[in-house]
Amino acid sequence: MEKKAFRSGFASVVGRPNVGKSTLINHFLGQKIAAVSPRPQTTIRNQLGILSTDAFQLIFIDTPGIHKPLSKLGESMNDAALATLGDVDCVLWLVDVTTAPTDQDRNVAERLQAANIQKNGLLVLNKKDQASPAVLQENQAAYQELFPDVPCFLISSKTGDGCDALLEKVLAMLPEGPAFYDPEQITDLYEREIASDLIRESLLKNLEDEVPHAVAVQIEEFKDRSAQNSYILATLLLEREGHKGILIGKNGEMIKKIGSDARREIELMTGRKIYLELKVKVYKNWKNNAAILRSLGYIRDR
């Protein structure tokens, strides 16, 4: 039997915030490489998820949620997501099928139409496990009206239902070609960058609505003390002095909880024992400071 040609290519996963983009990519890779939380804007920069087998290499691009920006940080997040549309083999527009299209969804649809990605676009209706058949039918029709003439898939990135058929379709869209990355590599980020994202994930899960999005995580040190132990020092940058007490909590309980949750996830990611030290610093309006955003890796020089 003739061996099938090796296929390789890129698939961008886009959508408004909090529709399950990172969860879907983590599912396909079979492990967690991207931070996930029930809050929007967990992902704030593009991250690659690299799925390799003997037959193919599929590189997913996990993008920030496309939204109406209120700061330079928001603008850079949108720019990062939209910049992926032109040079990929497949664009997956991921939506939350439990709700009717929002203004943000319509904004995404307009951006996709403007980028003319119908020929390589897929409409992916996520969270099918959380909606009744009637809701699924009604909302599916509404999303298909926004993005017509493209294949549509109903899935649950949480349970995996429908994901096999979606993956099969994406693979069929890849061209023949060599692998772009070592087959052992699963992402383009370094451990310190993933650690930063996991600390931010813990902030989003533990803090009140207003505070987490006003906090940046800067890794000051990431040192391997041995093959089994690493030390991480991270500074949490706040926009307001008034948020400091909320972040630290009574008797330091909140920052201890944030650190404990983040440390556990980082240990799962690295396979090492982690000593995590968190410091807090107030830097007003950091989200509109291009120099700080550049130092954090949120803005990249072209």
More confident residue, 92 or 74: 92
Model pLDDT, residue 185: 85
Q: Taking 90 as the threshold, does the pLDDT of residue 76 lie above it?
A: no
Model pLDDT, residue 55: 94
The overall average pLDDT reported for the chain is 85
Tell me the residue type at 165.
A
Q: What are phi and psi of 199, to 5 degrees?
A: -65, -40
Delimiting residues of CATH 3.40.50.300 domain(s) in the chain: 7-172
Model pLDDT, residue 62: 85
Q: Taking 70 as the threshold, does the pLDDT of residue 40 lie above it?
A: no
Residues in the chain, how many? Answer: 302
Interhelix angle 21-29/163-172, rounded to 10 degrees, is: 80
Model pLDDT, residue 39: 47
Give the tens place of pLDDT for each residue, 234-245: 999 888 888 888
Query: pLDDT band at residue 8, thresholds of 50, 70 and 90?
Result: very high
What whole-number distance in Å separates Cα of residue 293 and Cα of residue 300?
Answer: 9
Delimiting residues of CATH 3.30.300.20 domain(s) in the chain: 191-295
DSSP-derived letter for residue 276 is E
Q: Taking 80 as the threshold, does the pLDDT of residue 210 lie above it?
A: no
CATH number belonging to the domain at 191-295, selected among 3.30.300.20, 3.30.200.20, 3.30.1330.40, 3.40.50.300 = 3.30.300.20
How would you classify residue 129: left for phi > 0, otherwise alpha for psi between -120 and 50, otherwise beta? alpha
Q: Is the pTM of this model over 0.85?
A: no
Q: Taking 70 as the threshold, does the pLDDT of residue 301 lie above it?
A: no
Q: Taking 60 as the threshold, does the pLDDT of residue 296 lie above it?
A: yes
Q: Taking 50 as the threshold, does the pLDDT of residue 170 lie above it?
A: yes
Question: Which whole number is the average pLDDT over 140-149?
Answer: 94
The answer to whether 9 and 175 have CB atoms below 8 angstroms apart is yes
What whole-number distance in Å separates Cα of residue 206 and Cα of residue 254?
Answer: 8
Model pLDDT, residue 11: 95
Comparing CA positions, the residue from 108, 274, 98 lying closest to residue 199 is 274
What whole-number distance in Å separates Cα of residue 219 and Cα of residue 261?
Answer: 17
Structure tokens that stand for 39 in this block: 């809050």
Q: Taking 90 as the threshold, does the pLDDT of residue 193 lie above it?
A: no
Model pLDDT, residue 13: 93
Model pLDDT, residue 299: 61
The domain defined by 7-172 folds into: Rossmann fold (3.40.50)
More confident residue, 31 or 60: 60
Give the tens place of pLDDT for each residue, 217-266: 888 998 988 888 999 999 998 888 888 888 999 999 999 999 999 999 99
What whole-number distance in Å separates Cα of residue 45 and Cα of residue 63?
Answer: 6
Model pLDDT, residue 146: 94
- Helices and strands, counts by H and E, the chain: 9, 9
Question: Which whole number is the average pLDDT over 153-180?
Answer: 95
